Amino acid sequence: MSNTALIVGASGIVGSATAALLHQEGWQVAGLARHPVRQDGVAPVAGDLQDPASLARALADIAPSHVFLATWQRRPTEAEMIRINRAMIENLLEALRPKGSVRHVALVTGLKHYLGPFEAYGKGRLPQTPFREDQGRLDIENFYYAQEDAVFAAAARDGFTWSVHRPHTIIGKAVGNAMNMGTTLACYATLCRELGRPFVFPGSAVQWNGLTDMTDARLLARQLLWASTEPKAANEAFNVVNGDVFRWSWMWGRIADWFGIEAVPFDGTHRPLEPRMAQDGPAWAEIAARHGLAEPNLEKLASPWHTDADLGRPIEVVTDMSKSRRLGFTAYQPTDDAFFDLFGRLRADRLIP
């Protein structure tokens, strides 16, 4: 039976890595977006997830066997996030319903399932770490839960299987992505080197000293493929991280070495990136002009608010991978190599000097 994929969010960090892997594996791949970008091996589909009529037209000739949901929209309040992001999934799956072609839907969420939404991130009573999939939902509204419920309801109605994937902070390449720590740190390190600034860790003492983990987008793509085709993985939620743990007190120096700068010893002071990079747009544009970079707009590359949220957490966050390991998913990716691979791709694509 042939496999055809519809990726929602195909140009993002997760979607682009998934599209590349599926294309490599011989799948037919379509990417849905309001304004699709050109990608090798991806058929562009222009449609608006908030407009059912637009989706009906866009998907009239599309009959995917597998759907990969790797997009969301940010709004000022969690209530609005819930409304918008649940409706987008409901609209999409309703538009696909008449053909009856969908066999599996994979939803990408994240560790806010355990940590809480942006409005209450890392606050209140949280599950014990390492986070495990059998830990129940927090007693608080969360757009991740609304997304899951939309998939669960459609699966029960239409008879397809599902999987939910909960990565930690994702390392991967995408321009214009709302949550991109790897590229944000690459831009920050570049600004420090080019402007002679100290490369100061922007996070909390807990993050500097405590254990943590991260998720390479390519490894996440491999888990998405595995869970979508492995019968034992059907109708399950999975954490997904690289498989190693580290302390930022070690990683910070590794990143500094890659960029040829010196890591400033952490003195216990929390110095968030967002206010310190707020006025760096003109400096980045000048660096881009001087080095012939492809993107002079710093806001399209860096998301310091998100990096601050992760590096400023007052709790240690590590993730258990036992569930998928027991079912046969054994992929592993050293996190320092994930950063270095990303930095190399950013430089090769003239996004950093």
pLDDT in tens, 250-295: 999 999 999 999 999 999 999 999 999 999 999 999 999 999 999 9
Same domain, 207 and 158: no
Task: Give the model's pLDDT for residue 57.
Answer: 93
Task: Give the model's pLDDT for residue 2.
Answer: 83
Task: Give the model's pLDDT for residue 106.
Answer: 98
Same domain, 105 and 189: no
pLDDT in tens, 204-249: 999 999 999 999 999 999 999 999 999 999 999 999 999 999 999 9
For residue 129, the SS3 value is: coil
Same domain, 301 and 280: yes
- Cα–Cα distances (Å) from 203 to 40, 161, 211, 308, 335, in that order, read 37, 40, 14, 7, 18
Task: Give the model's pLDDT for residue 118.
Answer: 73
Whether residue 216 is contained in a domain is answered as no
Task: Give the model's pLDDT for residue 123.
Answer: 66
Same domain, 278 and 202: yes
Q: How far apart are CA 134 and CA 223, in angstroms?
A: 18
Whether residue 222 is contained in a domain is answered as no
Q: Which residues of 42-52 are buried (b: 16+ CB within 10 A; e: fewer)?
A: beebebbbeeb
Report residue 314's pLDDT band, with 50, 70 and 90 as the boundaries. Answer: confident
Whether residue 327 is contained in a domain is answered as no
Task: Give the model's pLDDT for residue 127.
Answer: 82
Model pTM? 0.95
Whether residue 159 is contained in a domain is answered as yes
Report residue 34's pLDDT band, with 50, 70 and 90 as the boundaries. Answer: confident
For residue 240, the SS3 value is: strand
Of residues 112, 145, 173, 188, which has the active-site annotation? 112
Same domain, 131 and 204: no
- Ramachandran sector of residue 35 (left: φ over 0; alpha: ψ -120 to 50; beta: rest): beta
**What CATH number should be reported for the domain holding residue 6?**
3.40.50.720
Q: CA angle 65-70-72, nearest 5°?
A: 130
Same domain, 160 and 180: no
Q: Which residues of 314-348 are buried (b: 16+ CB within 10 A; e: fewer)?
A: eeebebbbebbeebebebebebbebbebbbeebee
Q: Which of 166, 195, 222 is the last residue of a domain?
A: 166
Q: CA angle 13-14-15, nearest 5°?
A: 100
What is the tally of structural domains in the chain? 2
Same domain, 79 and 113: yes
Q: How far apart are CA 31 and CA 11, in angstroms?
A: 8
Whether residue 287 is contained in a domain is answered as yes
Whether residue 352 is contained in a domain is answered as no
Q: How far apart are CA 57 and CA 68, in angstroms?
A: 20
Task: Give the model's pLDDT for residue 124.
Answer: 67
Question: Is 123 a catalytic site residue?
Answer: no
Closest CA to 200 of 281, 275, 262, 284: 262
Same domain, 8 and 86: yes
Task: Give the model's pLDDT for residue 315.
Answer: 87
Whether residue 223 is contained in a domain is answered as no
For residues 319-324, average pLDDT? 97
Task: Give the model's pLDDT for residue 199.
Answer: 98
Q: How far apart are CA 49 and CA 2, in angstroms?
A: 26
Question: Is 144 a catalytic site residue?
Answer: yes
Same domain, 73 and 203: no
56 has pLDDT over 70: yes
Token code pair at residue 231:
């019968």
Average pLDDT over all residues of the chain:
94
More confident residue, 180 or 207: 207
Whether residue 60 is contained in a domain is answered as yes
- Cα–Cα distances (Å) from 291 to 185, 258, 285, in that order, read 18, 18, 10
Q: Which of 166, 199, 220 is the last residue of a domain?
A: 166
Same domain, 162 and 251: no
Task: Give the model's pLDDT for residue 145.
Answer: 97
pLDDT in tens, 115-160: 988 777 666 677 889 999 999 899 899 999 999 999 999 999 999 9
Inter-residue contact 59 to 96 (CB < 8 Å): yes
346 has pLDDT over 80: yes
Range of the domain at 310: 175-211+243-316+332-347
Closest CA to 277 of 170, 352, 202: 202
Q: Report the share of the chain in percent with pLDDT over 70.
A: 98
81 has pLDDT over 90: yes
Same domain, 282 and 249: yes
Please state whether beta strands 246-247 and 211-212 pair in parallel, antiparallel, or not at all (unpaired).
Answer: antiparallel
6 has pLDDT over 70: yes
Same domain, 137 and 116: yes
Residue entry with tokens 């409304």: 83
Of residues 144, 145, 173, 188, which has the active-site annotation? 144
Q: Which of 135, 166, 197 is the last residue of a domain?
A: 166
